[in-house]
Amino acid sequence: MTDSEETLANLSREERCFEPPADLAADANVKADAYDAAKADREGFWATQADRLDWATKWDQVLDWSNPPFAKWFVGGTLNASYNCVDRHVEAGRGDKVAIHWVGEPVTDGVADTRDITYAELKDEVSRAANALTALGIEAGDRVAIYMPMIPEAIIAMLACARIGAPHTVVFGGFSADALASRIEDCGAMVVITADGGYRRGTASPLKSAVDEARTKTDRVETVLVVRRTGQEVAWDDSVDVWWHDAVDTASTEHAPQAFDAEHPLYVMYTSGTTGKPKGILHTTGGYLTGSAYTHNAVFDLKPDDVYWCTADIGWVTGHSYIVYGPLANGVTQVVYEGTPDAPERGRWWHIIQDYKVTLFYTAPTAIRSFMKQGREIPDKFDLSSLRILGSVGESINPEAYIWYRTVIGGSGVDGRETPVVDTWWQTETGSVMISPLPGVTAGKPGSAMTAIPGIDADVVDDDGHSVPNGYGGYLVITSPWPSMLRTIWGDDDRYAETYWSRFRKEGFYFAGDGAKKDDDGDIWLLGRVDDVMNVSGHRLSTTEIESALVSHPKVAESAVVGANDPDTGQAVVAYVILREEFEAAAAADNAGIIKELSDHVRKEIGPIAKPRQIMIVPELPKTRSGKIMRRLLRDVAEGRTVGDTQTLADSSIMDLISAGQTTSTDD
Ligand code: ATP
Ligand code: MG
């Protein structure tokens, strides 16, 4: 392979590597032999994982792949997802175990608004809600939209839907009425479960009013079930609106869960929309629950006494797989937090970890980088020594952010402690983690998701679908079907086949849309979206590598890199950079100086080809509401176009700020 035909360049080198801690390795849930076992008999391996669940009827066939890309897993099996997440733990004598330590955002006179819910209590609540939904006329197969803050009722609502076989579609509470209406319309939801409002950044922000507005844009909705959370004023329409406390609190706690087919739809989740219009991803019951429960146990090495906390919102797939279905199927004790990391103070998350002695923590690189920006003095004030495994998901974690997470949050290196970081690669579409270290088996390399977990076959291939050799980059593909895979895009089988299975149709590979490389050991490094790859003088450069080089500079907290049209090189690298707070003032006084410093740094770290044509210091970056950087908008700015669709952007004023800054920035 010559340089000019490369699919994606491999520029950066990272030599640091952390072996699994010996005690963790000795007692790990999943050991190295699992990789071989899964390779030798993949379907047998998944059958063993499915046995983690309680099935009402055992399946006859593990996988039916006779009509690709439409898979059926655990054919002929029946089960109830809610029974698996709740009832069976109570029946096994663990009814008194806390399922959810819920923490509300408000703190009054130093006392937080909290609620502990045991598995027995959860069973009663879910049963009541299931009875209430049935009384409202919801039947198996009917869709229910959930538009709620992070309160226990959100989880109860999801499980109640699953219990009666009504697929839910959870819409993130920060989305607008328009976004809500389009999702209701797309999946045909007849009921919306919401709340009067929820607490975000110290204020009670309304939700019910957005549902009212959404109802003016779609006539699907027959009932709106409303939880009273904040007590704020809401408009009321007696013909559709029902209070949760009237319908649910009065319902019976007796509810016999009915078993559904393994392929019964469990939920529709819309992707976060980094690349464009969100897609309604359908997940079904048996395979999905198998995948989420197995990976949660394996990747977090879950033990009965662990206290787990995933900071995602239930409006994203991470909240579905790693707050609701995986952890609860595994009978975990977990923290669920309502608000933002900085309310009422910047150390709120660390305070919660200290209070509940959290052992397993799962968050996103965007959060880690924002804490890096603020400085380590904030987490250093808290006792975080209970933590034993740290997870990352959503974007590539830059090596520097990984090290910061491992040492500042994980306390690695202090008093002989080692707290591994697991960088988990997966998507809404994959349903559960595909590529990740196993903390007791795999060494950790900062910035690498390492290898596909046992049972998953992934590869990096070139344009022709051939596996690239170690040391090369290309397209990340999954080469065999897996239980928690999406079954289709809701209502659009053609778009499903086209979007994910047409790029490597001949080979039968699932194409994820991400670029990746294999290092000299064959370990996998995610390199960003293939749509974002830059072509500079015939070299195809990844955004992630250059961003990570910038973040490795001690003054930088976060960065986004895009390719802009260039008369000399085809495309040129344009970088947007957020500085760490302690360096902001000095940089403002000498803009040209800092820009030269950063530019030289990239040149030194990864080579002259990657040197940015332009670097801009910005106060914020455009992100989706799930915290992912939206590079396509920055490309519009870099190329002087009108900025494209900003519907999925968390804060649209950021684009105005960046566009305005564009004209005054200094070229180096
Ligand atoms: P859309 O498909 O609508 O553009 P989206 O892809 O952002 O939205 P998600 O399904 O939430 O929606 O995100 C999956 C994507 O997130 C992956 O394809 C990948 O680009 C990125 N990602 C997730 N985890 C990791 C990780 N550990 N390392 C690198 N990238 C990751
Ligand atoms: Mg995607």
427 CA from centroid of ligand 2 (Å): 6
> What pLDDT does residue 644 have?
81
Boundaries of domain holding 565:
533-665
> What pLDDT does residue 1 have?
46
> What pLDDT does residue 244 have?
98
The reply to whether ligand 1 has any atom less than 6 angstroms from the CB of 394 is yes
**How many structural domains is the chain composed of?**
1
Q: Cβ(119)–Cβ(95) under 8 Å?
A: yes
> What pLDDT does residue 640 have?
87
> What pLDDT does residue 658 have?
83
Share of the chain above pLDDT 70, in %: 98
Q: Which of 3-17, 123-137, 589-603 has the lowest mean pLDDT?
A: 3-17
> What pLDDT does residue 274 have?
73
CA distance linking residue 186 with residue 172, whole number of Å: 16
- Tens of pLDDT, residues 3-54: 446 889 998 889 999 999 999 999 999 999 999 999 999 999 999 999 999 9
> What pLDDT does residue 5 have?
62
**Helices 119-135 and 152-164, interaxial angle, to 10°?**
60
Give the helix/strand (H/E) hosting 299. Answer: helix 286-299
Q: Count other C-beta atoms under 10 Å from residue 656's C-beta.
A: 10
Average pLDDT over residues 358-362: 98
Please choose from 277, 526, 533 the residue to mutate so as to test ligand 1's pocket, defined by most ligand atoms within 8 A of CB. Answer: 526
Q: Would the pLDDT of 591 be above 60?
A: yes
Closest listed residue to residue 74, CA positions, set 52, 100, 98: 52
The reply to whether ligand 1 has any atom less than 6 angstroms from the CB of 544 is no
Q: What is the 3-state secondary structure (H, E, C) of 543-607?
A: HHHHHHHHHCCCCEEEEEEEEEEECCCEEEEEEEEEECHHHHHHHHHCHHHHHHHHHHHHHHHHC
- Tens of pLDDT, residues 492-502: 999 999 999 99
Q: Would the pLDDT of 2 be above 80?
A: no
- The backbone region for 522, taken as left when phi is positive above 0, alpha when psi lies in -120 to 50, beta otherwise, is left
**Helices 591-606 and 543-551, interaxial angle, to 10°?**
120
- Tens of pLDDT, residues 442-476: 999 999 999 999 999 999 999 999 999 999 999 99
Please tell me whether residue 332 adopts helix, strand or coil conformation.
Answer: coil
Q: Would the pLDDT of 665 be above 70?
A: no
Please choose from 427, 490, 495, 510 the residue to mutate so as to test ligand 1's pocket, defined by most ligand atoms within 8 A of CB. Answer: 427
Specify the higher pLDDT residue, 232 or 663: 232
Share of the chain above pLDDT 90, in %: 91
Q: Is position 582 within any domain?
A: yes
| Ligand nearest to the backbone CA of 478 | 1
> What pLDDT does residue 646 have?
78
- pLDDT level of residue 643 (50, 70, 90 thresholds): confident
Average pLDDT over residues 626-634: 92
- pLDDT level of residue 663 (50, 70, 90 thresholds): very low
> What pLDDT does residue 546 have?
97
The reply to whether ligand 1 has any atom less than 6 angstroms from the CB of 628 is yes
- pLDDT level of residue 666 (50, 70, 90 thresholds): very low
CA distance linking residue 525 with residue 581, whole number of Å: 29
Q: Would the pLDDT of 160 be above 50?
A: yes
Bridge partner residues of 578 (DSSP): 558
CA distance linking residue 343 with residue 632, whole number of Å: 31
Average pLDDT over residues 592-616: 96
Please tell me whether residue 236 adopts helix, strand or coil conformation.
Answer: coil
Specify the higher pLDDT residue, 52 or 647: 52
> What pLDDT does residue 641 have?
85
> What pLDDT does residue 664 have?
37
pTM over 0.85: yes
Q: Would the pLDDT of 295 be above 50?
A: yes
- pLDDT level of residue 668 (50, 70, 90 thresholds): very low
> What pLDDT does residue 75 have?
98
Q: What is the DSSP letter of 331?
A: T
Q: 646, exposed or middle or buried, with CB in 10 Å at 0-12, 13-18, 19+?
A: middle
Q: Is position 500 within any domain?
A: no
The reply to whether ligand 1 has any atom less than 6 angstroms from the CB of 144 is no
Q: How is residue 398 written in tokens? A: 């830059």
Closest residue to atom 30 of ligand 1, CA basis = 395
Q: Is position 591 within any domain?
A: yes
Average pLDDT over residues 112-136: 98
The reply to whether ligand 1 has any atom less than 6 angstroms from the CB of 393 is yes
55's CB contacts (< 8 A; 6+ apart) are 74, 77, 78, 79, 286
> What pLDDT does residue 662 have?
57
Q: Is position 317 within any domain?
A: no
Q: Is position 595 within any domain?
A: yes
CA distance linking residue 317 with residue 100, whole number of Å: 19
Dihedral sign for Cα atoms in the order 129, 132, 136, 140: positive
| Ligand nearest to the backbone CA of 401 | 1
Closest residue to atom 19 of ligand 1, CA basis = 395
> What pLDDT does residue 653 have?
83
Please choose from 270, 428, 445 the residue to mutate so as to test ligand 1's pocket, defined by most ligand atoms within 8 A of CB. Answer: 428
Q: Is position 641 within any domain?
A: yes
Q: Which residues of 490-517 are buried (b: 16+ CB within 10 A; e: fewer)?
A: beeeeebbebbbebbeeeebbbbbbbbb
Q: Cβ(548)–Cβ(396) under 8 Å?
A: yes
Average pLDDT over residues 96-110: 96
Specify the higher pLDDT residue, 535 or 278: 535
| Ligand nearest to the backbone CA of 528 | 1
427 CA from centroid of ligand 1 (Å): 5
Q: Would the pLDDT of 647 be above 80?
A: no
Q: Mean pLDDT over all residues of the chain?
A: 95
Average pLDDT over residues 101-122: 96
Q: Where residue 552 sits, what CATH number does that domain have?
A: 3.30.300.30
Average pLDDT over residues 244-260: 97
Beta strands, E only, 377-483: 389-392, 421-423, 458-461, 473-478
The reply to whether ligand 1 has any atom less than 6 angstroms from the CB of 428 is yes
> What pLDDT does residue 570 have?
94
Closest listed residue to residue 97, CA positions, set 88, 106, 107: 88
Q: Count other C-beta atoms under 10 Å from residue 8's C-beta.
A: 24
Q: Is position 79 within any domain?
A: no
Q: How is residue 451 written in tokens? A: 């290898």
Q: Within its chain, how far is the Cα of 664 from the centroid?
A: 36
Q: Would the pLDDT of 356 be above 90?
A: yes
> What pLDDT does residue 278 have?
82
The Cα angle at residue 312 between residues 266 and 617, in degrees rounded to 5: 135
Closest residue to atom 3 of ligand 1, CA basis = 273
Q: Is position 528 within any domain?
A: no
Q: Cβ(610)–Cβ(548) under 8 Å?
A: no
The reply to whether ligand 1 has any atom less than 6 angstroms from the CB of 571 is no
The reply to whether ligand 1 has any atom less than 6 angstroms from the CB of 319 is no
Average pLDDT over residues 300-315: 98
Give the strand pairing for 510-518 and 524-529. Answer: antiparallel
